[in-house]
Structure 1
Amino acid sequence: ELETETFRELYVKRRRIPLARAAEPEEIAQVVLFLAGPANTYITGQSIVVDGGLTITF
């Protein structure tokens, strides 16, 4: 499980995640629902990164 003290220490407390917190399950679910719903009829072959900005810190 990613929401452990180690995760918080390595990423949240050291400010590696620009939003300064781990995602809530509901936030991930919102993206999944969007991709599974009718609003995405023209999206193909994409990677949607839902990481609070973590990837821009590398």
Structure 2
Amino acid sequence: MELVTRFEAATRSTADLHGLLKMAFVACASAPPCSQERRDALTSIRTIEFELARRSPCP
């Protein structure tokens, strides 16, 4: 999986972000421990979750 940048996450729809988040989880789970692929997937997960949290209304 390619790294999802903050800019890319900001330009995607919420539905797209949820799809990317699923792909990032799968990529992370299937990547070897301590590999660059796993680090990229984890960074993408953080980036996507940050963007989704930024969009959600505060309680």
TM-score range (shorter-chain normalised) is: 0.3 to 0.5
Give the structure-1-normalised TM-score: 0.36
Higher helix share: 2
Larger radius of gyration: 1
Give the structure-2-normalised TM-score: 0.35
